[in-house]
Amino acid sequence: MNPILSVIVPSRGRLAQLGRLLECLAAQTGRGSDAFEVVVGLDGHTPAEADALPRDFPYEVTYLPLPPVGISAAKNAAVAAARGDVLLFVNDDIEPEPHFIAAHHTAQQAGHGVVLGASPFVRWRDQNVFDELVARTRMIFFYAELVDGAAYNFRYAWNINLSVSRRLLAPLVGPFTERIQPVFYDDVEFAYRLIGAADAVHYCAAARAPHRHRYDFAGYFAREALLGVMSAELARVNPDCHRAIFRAAPAEVLARAHAGLAPDIPDHQRMLTQFHTAAAASWGDNMPPDYAATLYALHLPLKRRAFRCGLTAASRNPNIPWTRRQHLAATALCADPVFSLCPPWSAETIQDHAPVQPYSTAAPGVNAVPTG
């Protein structure tokens, strides 16, 4: 019997997280929990990983070994191999709760063709202010603002935890655009072609799978720079989607980015130091109620600056191979007078994030502050 639902997992170099995901899926209960499969697209698979892949589960798991292809191609390979009527796209570092599959199944049965589940960030024993900011604000996702049962547009179609009825995919080529490599904007560009600007993403809080991904200070800004780099590719691949996100033509967004990097360098250097000091502190219950919101507002110029660094670097290197895009983003930060010179930063700190790393769809791209 064909499965009702296929769980689609793009994965790159994170066998421990992948194993934990598969263990959580083995503990599913409720409707649909006995009729699903898992298809894993192993991006950049190595022979050494083959022996370590977990296989003993009460459901069918299909591993698809792939050369380094990027997240979009990994998902396309998994979609092509999947047999379910519903495709459930997930990150390899989420931890589904027991009714995760059942909640997606119920929402799909109710006629919601695109269903976003809840994947809040887990809390850590040594939770610091930066962790709390990531969890509470729009730095990465904004689950805290979503209303159960409400409908949202394509910008919310995060593939960290999203089910889609297969019947909706028929008009799409791909369905994911494989030129979007290695990661970022792949899910929202897919959703834009799928549903346009309609509020057609149904939020189902019961489809809960906490996200075990911890961002550090340097990694966060390296991520923002890569978002800038990848926004240039999005503009080439799908200019209409780019305009829908940034509300301006690509040339205008780029012009703003160039203009926005020159002013306020001393202020931004001081801001980075202050933000780093505040974010590194432990989070306590005695924090003022608006503390996270205040720090989030403080850091927005830095977020914009990192994005602009990546975008302007991409404009100067339009033909760079996709395998070098993460390196380009990190190099752009190293060359910036704020991120390179302001303590506690150094070129070595940022370059730690330069090699192509295990990707995370925790960064779909639309959360970047538009370069206005």
Rounded to an integer, what is the distance from CA 1 to the centroid of its chain? 33
User: Does one domain contain both 162 and 187?
Assistant: yes
Question: Is cis: bond before 344, omega within 30 of 0?
Answer: yes
- Report if residue 362 sits inside a domain: no
User: Does one domain contain both 9 and 49?
Assistant: yes
User: Does one domain contain both 11 and 113?
Assistant: yes
Q: Which of 151, 84, 91, 81 is nearest to 116 (CA)?
A: 151
User: Does one domain contain both 157 and 72?
Assistant: yes
Q: What is the structure's pLDDT at 365?
A: 36
Q: Among 187, 208, 229, which residue terminates a domain?
A: 208
- Report if residue 115 sits inside a domain: yes
pLDDT band at 370 (very low <50, low <70, confident <90, very high): very low
Q: Biggest alpha carbon distance in the chain? A: 65
Q: Is the pLDDT of residue 140 over 90?
A: yes
Tokens of 184: 């970022």
Rounded to the nearest 10 degrees, what angle do helices 325-334 and 291-316 cross at?
110
Q: Is the pLDDT of residue 33 over 80?
A: no
User: In this prediction, what percent of the chain has a pLDDT beyond 90?
Assistant: 76
Q: Is the pLDDT of residue 368 over 70?
A: no
261 vs 338: CA distance, rounded Å: 10
Q: Are strands 114-118 and 161-165 parallel, antiparallel or unpaired?
A: antiparallel
Q: Among 182, 208, 234, which residue terminates a domain?
A: 208
Residue 21 contacts residue 92 (beta carbons within 8 Å): yes
36 vs 22: CA distance, rounded Å: 12
User: Does one domain contain both 183 and 259?
Assistant: no
- Report if residue 31 sits inside a domain: yes
User: Does one domain contain both 259 and 201?
Assistant: no
Q: What is the structure's pLDDT at 48?
A: 75
Which of 117-131, 222-236, 271-285 has the weakest average pLDDT?
271-285
The set of residues, in sequence order, having a beta carbon less than 8 Å from that of 290 and lying 6+ positions away, is none
Phi, psi of 22 (to 5 degrees): -65, -35
Q: Among 190, 208, 226, which residue terminates a domain?
A: 208
- Report if residue 369 sits inside a domain: no
- Report if residue 136 sits inside a domain: no
- The per-residue pLDDT for range 41-99, each reduced to its tens digit, is 999 877 777 778 888 899 999 999 999 999 999 999 999 999 999 999 999 999 999 99
User: Does one domain contain both 194 and 335?
Assistant: no
Range of the domain at 43: 5-125+142-208
User: Does one domain contain both 63 and 111?
Assistant: yes
- Report if residue 367 sits inside a domain: no
Phi, psi of 149 (to 5 degrees): 90, -10
User: Does one domain contain both 67 and 193?
Assistant: yes
- The per-residue pLDDT for range 160-178, each reduced to its tens digit, is 999 999 999 989 999 999 9
CATH code, domain carrying 189: 3.90.550.10
User: Does one domain contain both 154 and 269?
Assistant: no
207 vs 28: CA distance, rounded Å: 11
Region of 184 on the Ramachandran plot (φ > 0 left; ψ -120 to 50 alpha; else beta): left
Rounded to the nearest 10 degrees, what angle do helices 71-81 and 186-195 cross at?
50
- Report if residue 131 sits inside a domain: no
Burial label, 45 (beta-carbon count in 10 A; 0-12, 13-18, 19+): buried
Q: What is the structure's pLDDT at 367?
A: 38
User: Does one domain contain both 100 and 243?
Assistant: no
Q: What is the structure's pLDDT at 14?
A: 87
Q: What is the CA radius of gyration of the chain?
A: 20
- Report if residue 363 sits inside a domain: no
The set of residues, in sequence order, having a beta carbon less than 8 Å from that of 324 and lying 6+ positions away, is none
User: Does one domain contain both 182 and 252?
Assistant: no
Domain count, the chain: 2
The Cα-based distances of 194 to 71, 307, 308 in angstroms read 18, 27, 29
The Cα-based distances of 160 to 253, 328, 370 in angstroms read 27, 25, 22
